[in-house]
């Protein structure tokens, strides 16, 4: 259910760690219902970009607007419509799975959350674990719990960093289905991953980063068109062609 | 004493202690187990070198022949790591062979030795009027009596070569004993790597144990260092601060405290009970009312519980990244995180104060005022403490790289905390000081002015400190690794 409504607007985002330029003048937008695949080599600035949009890192250069709210000036309202799933979610070790949902509901001010929580526990196969402490969960279970908490309030924007790591094949299939289902309800999703096949399968648009810079933004077809003379048609070949030409701007 | 420490340390480092990355690399490498032990011994001896030189210098200053004392002490100190490693391997192997039976044996042995020493010391002191003779001669006389006891002499026997080397007065007395020390050291160096123990599983367990201890140490002296008890799974914690974002943060912290810190509660409660009893018995003097005892309970209780029951940002440092993505202002997170600890400490102190009032049968109205002030005092201290911690989180660990620098930094931060507390108290007592000393009002009037003027100041301080804590939390850079 893609629409023209812009959910996230990133303008001239920048971030440096001492002398290292992690993100350099990054600008892009994402609309409701889109799944933006964020790819790039190690150290390209993907996680820094996501953590900055999530509010984990302060916005030092540029501007981030989420759901019409400026992240720097209207932080609480911007964060209320967004969810962040880091690459290795760490639940609270003394809260049970169900209490995580209770906590999330209170944190985001949700009413009547219980039926949806029960539904999510079933969908993510966590019903049997609902009384388990966060500290007792396996890597895959932690990931599923993070999905449940993020999905609970049907946010307008979800940021995911390597969302499938730790999941078994059944969990991977289920997660992919759920991500697509979430986007179909109008939620914008940013999916950062090194698994190019996953991006190729799910993403409706691509953002390729290299050394902190945006080297390509557009659909997969636009990428194929853009890098036609350099590579074949798979995302892997596009990725190598794009990151091998990082010096030039290749915005579609 | 150093031998005893080496012995007890070998209980906790069973097998061969290696860091996790060393285990993965070295165990899978074509390196023999004796070579691994030699590698570990070399590291341990190298680390002991500076200490051995220091102790050698210390002994040399007091011994009849400094060179002999220095040499003997250095060899003794360099031998200790090898003895400790031998103990670690042998005890670990014994524990493996006899499963859980031996797991507690070292501590039982230590307890028995301590009891024997205590009994021996008692009889050595009581026998033949030693106490009477010790009168006026001080502790050194008693120590010399204990040292000459047959039990003490038996315990000292294994240390004879080193003691004789250190205390030798001429070459004739020095050479044989020193040669024995060197021979023992060389013998251990050759023998310890050949101890036929497969230490791999023990090393994995020890490495995991040490990693857990370091992880707990990194969290500082927080009281919620354990894991949630399974028995508490069905416990429901009330939402005392409502079901909004603020209430959620406070509730999460309260759940963590209740599920992970039962032992700390019991210990804290016992301490407050003990202080309450002491305040109305041992320290009470005729003519003092319940208020004086209650002030003692409140003062000591606040001081002790704020340090002993520390349920604050120290245990949440790894979560700051997550916290920052929540839709709630940092100052609210700061206050909500500290609120459960404040309430808990205040309730415990209130119970202590109530106990004092009931025992003294003195329902002094000032007690209510005291109880009302305690939460503010606790909040002032925890805010200063946590704001300083978040400003520069220093978590030192034993043998951690840069521990010395961290120790200096930690000391500076403690000074900052104390200065902050002194300023907070100083400002709060200004109205009383003006009333009592500048205006020379009668005592009751000065106290009244002090309360009426001081309370708003404390409230403002709490507000400012919470805002400062929020600002520090906002600027906390999660992108930087903290030691």
Of A57, A76, A80, the CB nearest to B478: A57
Contact B473, B333 (CB under 8 A): yes
Q: Chain B contacts of A84, Cβ < 8 Å?
A: 325
Note whether B153 and B256 are same-domain residues.
no
Q: How far is A55 from chain B (nearest CA, A)?
A: 5
Q: Which long-range contacts (CB under 8 A, 24 or more apart) does B478-481 make?
A: B478/A51, B478/A56, B478/A57, B478/B320, B478/B321, B478/B324, B479/A17, B479/A48, B479/A51, B479/A57
CA B227 vs CA B11, B256, B334: distances in Å: 23, 9, 23
Task: Identify the pLDDT of residue A52.
Answer: 92
Q: Chain B contacts of A93, Cβ < 8 Å?
A: 227-228
Q: List residues of chain B with CB under 8 Å from any CB of chain A.
A: 224, 227-228, 233-234, 239, 243-245, 247-249, 251-252, 255-256, 259-260, 318-319, 321-322, 324-329, 474-475, 478-479
Contact A55, A73 (CB under 8 A): no
CA distance B187 to B169: 26
pLDDT tens for B37-57 read 999 899 888 888 888 888 889
Task: Identify the pLDDT of residue B218.
Answer: 57
pLDDT at B397 over 70: no
Note whether B19 and B137 are same-domain residues.
yes
- Ramachandran region, residue A162 (left: φ > 0; alpha: ψ -120 to 50; beta: rest): left
Most confident of A63-67, B91-95, B108-112, B374-378: A63-67
Interface test with B, best of A94, A129, A142 (most B CBs within 10 A): A94
With respect to residue B436, please indicate whether it lies within any of the assigned structural domains: yes
Residue A131 and residue B233: Cβ atoms within 8 Å?
A: yes
Q: List residues of chain A with CB under 8 Å from any CB of chain B.
A: 17, 48, 51, 54-58, 75-80, 82, 84, 86, 90, 92-96, 99, 103, 106-109, 131, 133, 135
Task: Identify the pLDDT of residue B10.
Answer: 58
Residue A106 and residue B247: Cβ atoms within 8 Å?
A: yes
Task: Identify the pLDDT of residue B398.
Answer: 47
Note whether B211 and B152 are same-domain residues.
yes
Q: How many CA atoms lie within 13 A of B430 on its CB side?
A: 10
With respect to residue B307, please indicate whether it lies within any of the assigned structural domains: yes
Residue B321 and residue A94: Cβ atoms within 8 Å?
A: no
CA distance B105 to B10: 13
Rounded to 10°, the helix B330-360/B245-260 angle is: 50
The pair phi, psi for residue B423, each rounded to 5°, is -65, -45
Residue A133 and residue B325: Cβ atoms within 8 Å?
A: no
Q: Chain B contacts of A67, Cβ < 8 Å?
A: none
Residue B329 and residue A75: Cβ atoms within 8 Å?
A: yes
Q: Chain A contacts of B252, Cβ < 8 Å?
A: 92, 95, 103
Note whether B378 and B254 are same-domain residues.
yes
Comparing CA positions, the residue from B5, B26, B28 lying closest to residue B17 is B26
Q: Average per-residue pLDDT in chain B?
A: 79
pLDDT at B206 over 60: yes
CA distance A99 to B424: 38
Residue B327 and residue A84: Cβ atoms within 8 Å?
A: no
Interface pTM, i.e. ipTM: 0.84
Other residues' Cβ atoms within 10 Å of the Cβ of residue A59: 19
Give percent of chain B with pLDDT exceeding 70: 78
With respect to residue B480, please indicate whether it lies within any of the assigned structural domains: no
Interface test with B, best of A56, A74, A96, A106 (most B CBs within 10 A): A106
Domain ranges of chain A: 1-81+156-252, 90-154
Q: Domain tally for chain B? A: 2
Q: Chain B contacts of A56, Cβ < 8 Å?
A: 321-322, 324-325, 478
Contact B447, B362 (CB under 8 A): no
- The domain defined by A1-81+156-252 carries CATH number 3.40.50.300: yes
Other residues' Cβ atoms within 10 Å of the Cβ of residue B32: 9
pLDDT tens-digit profile, chain A (252 residues): 556 789 999 999 998 887 788 899 999 999 999 999 999 998 889 999 999 999 888 888 999 999 999 999 998 999 999 999 998 888 998 899 999 999 999 999 998 999 999 999 999 999 999 999 998 899 899 999 999 999 998 899 999 999 998 888 988 999 999 999 999 999 999 999 988 889 989 999 999 999 889 988 998 888 888 877 765 677 888 888 788 754 444 444
Comparing CA positions, the residue from A138, A164, A160 lying closest to residue A150 is A160
Of B228, B260, B479, the CB nearest to A57: B479
Task: Identify the pLDDT of residue A165.
Answer: 84
Comparing CA positions, the residue from B25, B14, B35 lying closest to residue B192 is B35
Other residues' Cβ atoms within 10 Å of the Cβ of residue B345: 27
Q: How far is A131 from chain B (nearest CA, A)?
A: 7
pLDDT at B402 over 60: no
Mean pLDDT, to the nearest integer, of B428-444?
85
Question: What residue in B sits closest to A158 (Cα-Cα)?
Answer: B325
Residue B252 and residue A95: Cβ atoms within 8 Å?
A: yes
Of A48, A79, A90, the CB nearest to B325: A79
Contact A209, A39 (CB under 8 A): yes
With respect to residue B375, please indicate whether it lies within any of the assigned structural domains: yes
pLDDT at B123 over 70: no
Note whether B198 and B263 are same-domain residues.
no
CA distance B317 to B219: 8
Characterize the bridge pairing of strands A20-31 and A6-17. antiparallel
CA distance A194 to A41: 8
Of B228, B249, B325, the CB nearest to A133: B228
Task: Identify the pLDDT of residue A63.
Answer: 95
Q: How many CB pairs under 8 A join A and B?
A: 81
Q: Chain A contacts of B234, Cβ < 8 Å?
A: 131
pLDDT at B7 over 70: no
With respect to residue B483, please indicate whether it lies within any of the assigned structural domains: no
Q: Chain B contacts of A55, Cβ < 8 Å?
A: 324-325
Task: Identify the pLDDT of residue A246.
Answer: 44
Task: Identify the pLDDT of residue A249.
Answer: 43
B53-87 CB burial, b ≥16 within 10 A, e <16? eebbeebbeebebeebbbbbbbbbbbbbbbbbbbb
pLDDT at B133 over 70: no
Comparing CA positions, the residue from A75, A70, A60, A132 lying closest to residue A101 is A132
Characterize the bridge pairing of strands A213-218 and A35-39. unpaired
- For residue B292, give both structure tokens: 């004086």
Q: Chain B contacts of A94, Cβ < 8 Å?
A: 224, 227-228, 255-256, 259-260
Supply the DSSP string of B59-95, one letter for each residue.
HHHHSSSHHHHHHHHHHHHHHHHHHHHHHHHHHHHHH
Supply the DSSP string of B159-181, one letter for each residue.
GHHHHHHHH--SHHHHHHHHHHH
Comparing CA positions, the residue from B437, B435, B432 lying closest to residue B455 is B432
With respect to residue B51, please indicate whether it lies within any of the assigned structural domains: yes
Determine which helix (DSSP H) or strand (DSSP E) holds B182, and give its type and residue range: helix B171-191
Comparing CA positions, the residue from B6, B166, B171 lying closest to residue B75 is B166
Q: How far is A12 from chain B (nearest CA, A)?
A: 20
- For residue A128, give both structure tokens: 């049997």
- Ramachandran region, residue B138 (left: φ > 0; alpha: ψ -120 to 50; beta: rest): left
Mean pLDDT, to the nearest integer, of B195-212?
79
Place of tokens 């999530």: A54
Note whether B187 and B228 are same-domain residues.
no
Determine which helix (DSSP H) or strand (DSSP E) holds A11, and give its type and residue range: strand A6-17
Interface test with B, best of A57, A107, A159 (most B CBs within 10 A): A107
Of A77, A84, A94, the CB nearest to B228: A94
Residue B481 — very low, low, confident or very high, per pLDDT cuts 50/70/90?
Answer: very low
Comparing CA positions, the residue from B29, B36, B400, B473 lying closest to residue B213 is B400
CA distance A37 to B296: 63
Q: Chain B contacts of A58, Cβ < 8 Å?
A: 474-475
Question: What residue in B sits closest to A56 (Cα-Cα)?
Answer: B324
Q: Chain A contacts of B478, Cβ < 8 Å?
A: 51, 56-57
With respect to residue B68, please indicate whether it lies within any of the assigned structural domains: yes
Comparing CA positions, the residue from B97, B94, B114, B116 lying closest to residue B105 is B94
Note whether B268 and B380 are same-domain residues.
yes
Mean pLDDT, to the nearest integer, of B167-190?
91
Question: What residue in B sits closest to A134 (Cα-Cα)?
Answer: B228
Residue B214 — very low, low, confident or very high, per pLDDT cuts 50/70/90?
Answer: low
State the residue range of the domain holding B92.
Answer: 2-216
* Sheet with A20-31, side-by-side order of all strands: A20-31, A6-17, A61-66, A69-70
Most confident of A231-235, B207-211, B290-294: B290-294
Question: What residue in B sits closest to A86 (Cα-Cα)?
Answer: B322
Residue A107 and residue B259: Cβ atoms within 8 Å?
A: no
Comparing CA positions, the residue from A57, A102, A69 lying closest to residue B325 is A57
Question: What residue in A sits closest to B328 (Cα-Cα)?
Answer: A76
Question: What residue in A sits closest to B474 (Cα-Cα)?
Answer: A58
> Which sign, positive or negative, has the C-alpha torsion A6, A46, A92, B247?
negative
Residue B244 and residue A95: Cβ atoms within 8 Å?
A: no
Residue B322 and residue A76: Cβ atoms within 8 Å?
A: no
Under 8 Å CB-to-CB from A50, ≥6 apart: which residues? A38, A84, A159, A161, A190, A192
Place of tokens 């040490």: B210
pLDDT tens for B314-357 read 777 778 888 888 999 999 999 999 999 899 889 999 998 888 88
CA distance B353 to B300: 12
Residue A76 and residue B329: Cβ atoms within 8 Å?
A: yes
Helix (H, G, I), strand (E, B) or coil at B325: coil
- For residue B4, give both structure tokens: 């005893």
Of B248, B319, B327, the CB nearest to A76: B327
Select from B156, B186, B216 the last residue of a domain.
B216
Give percent of chain B with pLDDT exceeding 90: 15
Place of tokens 């020390």: B181
Q: Chain B contacts of A106, Cβ < 8 Å?
A: 239, 243-245, 247-248, 251
């Amino acid at each position: 259910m893609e629409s023209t409504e812009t959910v996230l607007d990133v303008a001239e985002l920048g971030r440096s760690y001492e002398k290292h330029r992690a993100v350099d003048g990054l600008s892009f937008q994402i609309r409701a219902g889109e799944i933006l695949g964020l790819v790039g080599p190690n150290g390209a600035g993907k996680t820094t970009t996501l953590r900055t949009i999530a509010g984990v890192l302060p916005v030092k250069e540029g501007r981030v607007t989420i759901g019409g709210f400026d992240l720097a000036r209207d932080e609480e309202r911007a964060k209320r419509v967004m969810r962040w799933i880091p690459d290795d979610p760490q639940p609270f070790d003394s809260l049970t799975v169900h209490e995580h949902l209770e906590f999330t509901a209170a944190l985001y001010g949700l009413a009547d959350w219980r039926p949806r929580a029960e539904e999510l526990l079933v969908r993510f196969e966590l019903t049997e674990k609902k009384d388990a402490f966060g500290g007792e969960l396996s890597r895959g279970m932690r990931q599923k719990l993070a999905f449940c908490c993020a999905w609970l309030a049907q946010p307008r924007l979800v940021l995911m960093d390597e969302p499938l790591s730790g999941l078994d094949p059944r969990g991977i299939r289920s997660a992919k289905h759920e991500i697509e289902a979430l986007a179909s309800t109008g939620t914008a999703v940013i999916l950062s991953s090194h698994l190019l096949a996953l991006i190729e399968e799910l993403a409706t648009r691509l953002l390729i980063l290299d050394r902190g810079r945006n080297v390509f933004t557009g659909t997969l077809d636009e990428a194929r068109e853009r890098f036609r003379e350099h590579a074949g048609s798979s995302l892997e070949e596009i990725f190598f062609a794009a990151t091998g030409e990082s010096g030039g701007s290749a915005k579609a | 004493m150093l031998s005893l420490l080496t012995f007890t340390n070998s209980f906790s480092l069973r097998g061969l202690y290696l860091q996790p990355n060393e285990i993965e690399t070295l165990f899978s490498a074509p390196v023999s187990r004796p070579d691994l032990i030699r590698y570990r011994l070399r590291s341990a001896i190298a680390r002991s070198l500076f200490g051995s030189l220091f102790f050698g210098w210390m002994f040399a200053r007091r011994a009849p022949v400094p060179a002999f004392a220095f040499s003997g002490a250095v060899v003794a100190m360099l031998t200790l790591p090898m003895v400790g490693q031998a103990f670690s391997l042998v005890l670990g192997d014994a524990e493996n062979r006899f499963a859980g039976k031996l797991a507690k044996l070292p501590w039982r042995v230590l307890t028995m030795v301590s009891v024997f020493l205590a009994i021996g010391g008692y009889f050595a002191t009581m026998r033949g009027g030693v106490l009477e003779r010790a009168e006026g001669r001080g502790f050194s006389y008693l120590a010399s009596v204990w040292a000459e006891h047959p039990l003490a002499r038996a315990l000292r026997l294994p240390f004879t070569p080193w003691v004789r080397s250190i205390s030798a007065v001429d070459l004739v007395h020095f050479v044989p004993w020193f040669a024995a020390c060197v021979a023992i050291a060389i013998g251990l160096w050759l023998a310890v790597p050949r101890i036929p123990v497969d230490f791999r599983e023990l090393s994995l367990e020890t490495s995991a144990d040490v990693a857990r201890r370091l992880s707990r140490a990194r969290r500082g002296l927080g009281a919620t260092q354990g894991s949630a008890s399974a028995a508490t799974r069905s416990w429901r914690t009330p939402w005392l601060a409502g079901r909004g974002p603020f209430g959620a943060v406070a509730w999460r912290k309260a759940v963590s405290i209740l599920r992970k810190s039962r032992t700390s509660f019991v210990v804290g409660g016992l301490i407050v009970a003990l202080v309450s009893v002491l305040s109305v018995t041992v320290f009470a003097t005729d003519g003092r009312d319940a208020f004086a005892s209650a002030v003692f309970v409140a003062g000591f209780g606040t001081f002790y519980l704020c340090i002993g029951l520390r349920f604050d940002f120290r245990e949440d440092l790894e979560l700051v990244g997550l916290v920052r993505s929540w839709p709630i202002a940092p100052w609210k997170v700061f206050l909500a995180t500290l609120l459960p600890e404040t309430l808990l400490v205040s309730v415990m102190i209130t119970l202590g104060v109530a106990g004092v009032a009931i025992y003294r049968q003195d329902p002094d109205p000032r007690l209510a005022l005291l109880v009302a002030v305690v939460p503010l005092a606790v909040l002032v201290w925890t805010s200063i403490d946590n704001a300083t911690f978040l400003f520069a989180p220093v978590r030192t660990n034993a043998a951690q790289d840069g521990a010395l620098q961290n120790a200096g930094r930690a000391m500076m931060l403690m000074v900052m905390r104390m200065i902050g507390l002194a300023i907070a108290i100083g400002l709060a007592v200004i109205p009383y000081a003006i009333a009592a000393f500048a205006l020379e009002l009668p005592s009751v009037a000065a106290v009244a002015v002090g309360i009426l003027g001081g309370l708003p100041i404390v409230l403002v301080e709490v507000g400012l400190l919470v805002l400062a804590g929020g600002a520090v939390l906002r600027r906390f850079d999660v992108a930087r690794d903290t030691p």
